[in-house]
Amino acid sequence: MTFFQRASGILLHPTSLPSRFGIGDLGEGPYRFIDFLVETGQTLWQVLPLGPTGYGNSPYLSYSSLAGNPLLISPDVLYGDGLVTQEDLDAFPEFSDDYVDYDLVMKTKFPLLKKASDAFKTNASEELRGNFEVFCDRHSHWLENYALFMSLHEAHPGKTWRQWDTDIATRQPEAVARWTEILAEPIFYHKFLQFEFFRQWQGVRKYANDRNVKIFGDIPIYVAYDSVDVWANAEFFCLDEETQAASLMAGVPPDYFSATGQLWGNPVYNWEKLEETNFQWWIKRFKGTLEYLDVVRIDHFRGFQAYWAVPQGETTAMNGEWLEAPGEKFFQRLKDELGTLPIVAEDLGVITPEVEQLRDKFNLPGMKILHFAFDSDRANPFLPYNYTNHNCVVYTGTHDNNTTVGWFAERNFEENARVTNYLGGICPQGIHWSLIRLAMGSVANQAIFPLQDLLGLTETARMNTPGLADGNWGWRYRPEVLTPELIDHLRFLTELYGRIVYQETDDWE
């Protein structure tokens, strides 16, 4: 059983799509991008986590592992449904077409979403209202807690759930009932936002699937501490019994990105408790995620075999330890539930034979990053001639890497000579197309490129710099950059290297 047949695709988070409302949304932008994918022969669209973002606007620090980001809701679609007026849309300020100003977007968009929610409550059609009720009922296992959590968050500005009154922080039934009654109006609002996100996203996904494009997205292994996941399921996380703070924090030891490691701060899982419940929390999380996505990349897959745990109070990730996780039991349980595992393993960082065995036991594709291929010896596993089988996904770089042009520019002469010699020279179109060609021509079943690399952009278009708290996640593209010349060249290479998928087949045979 393999993953997909030989194919290729583009990495682009929806926030980077064109839109006149300051941030990419689920209006016209994704449909035109899918048309671009079809024209160029791409059959995969990879996105980052789609949840509502918290501190730093990072999609990897979400208030919920199953909710959608309300900032992606399209005002144009709301207008089409009669929930906002043309005057409302005209009142939006002029935004940058190149970068997301999150503060300004939130300041202007959330009042519009509240107005749409009020209009929905009083004026929605019977069909729309019925769809809303079906959505709320079907997703009640996470939606009820999420809507209450977000409403509580707004009622306690600037505070994490641990700083709320003890009775509601610890979810005493009387406190939950009391606050649910007090916050009935904002609870409805947050349910409406999720309904609208889900409805708009499903339209995008259907448009993609009908054109043989699959949505490939992320499950970050960890959830944010200040999230409904931890607040509503505290027993499944390593928390201090008295303070409810994370007693063991997630991260990675010193690596390519940081000499002191990365201290993420998320609480690690209490795997013993999860196993006692037959991993039901994780099973529900996967099933819920697959309502949004066709294929899931598990970010930090190695944490299912063993995870880096850093004690409370540490300020870097250096003083942690590896603890084993019941990954084999979990993935067997997940396979029993799903039948197949539409999963890619992000197997980067400190990878041991045990991690590789877990990945291979369940036939999960791993990842190959060309930016990592040229700075060691000829046994470097990211060099294409060392790919031992087809079951992997090759990237020029990921959302955490510099752009390929930026990466090449910051290397010294000797380092770049290794790249140039391997390639036999840089092609006339530039280093970015040279690496795209290298990925396209590899044996990897899938080849994926950030849109920034297709456009040959410099480091100013970088999506994320790990360890940098501010200035990330903001890059956007303008529609005119997807030129006929770009379309022709990308399709030419896609056909040249045998990655055109001419008809749908059973992906899992």
Half-sphere exposure for 109 (CA within 13 Å, toward CB): 26
Record the tokens describing residue 233, joined without a space: 């399921």
| Cα 475 to the center of its chain, rounded Å | 15
Q: Please give the helix or strand (H or E) that residue 262 lies within, else none.
A: strand 262-267
Distances (CA, A) of 218 to 21, 63, 184, 282, 299: 25, 15, 32, 14, 7
CB burial readout 12-51, b (16+ within 10 A) else e: bbbbbbbbebbbbbbbbbbeebbebbeebbbbbbbbbbbb
Q: Is 354 a catalytic residue?
A: no
Residue 450: strand pairing partners: 11
CA distance 333 to 430: 47
Residue in this structure with the two tokens 């330890």, named with its chain if needed: 321
DSSP tag of 460:
G
CA distance 489 to 475: 24
Q: Is 81 a catalytic residue?
A: no
Within 8 A by CB and 6+ apart from 449, the residues are 8, 10, 11, 395, 396, 436, 439
Catalytic residue among 218, 346, 347, 453: 346
Q: Is 174 a catalytic residue?
A: no
Q: How many CB atoms lie within 10 A of CB 65?
A: 23
Catalytic residue among 218, 226, 400, 453: 400
- Are the C-beta atoms of residues 142 and 67 closer than 8 Å to each other? yes
Residue 53: strand pairing partners: 62
Catalytic residue among 218, 229, 299, 453: 299
- Are the C-beta atoms of residues 509 and 1 closer than 8 Å to each other? yes
Record the tokens describing residue 60, joined without a space: 């990897």
Catalytically annotated residues? 299, 346, 400
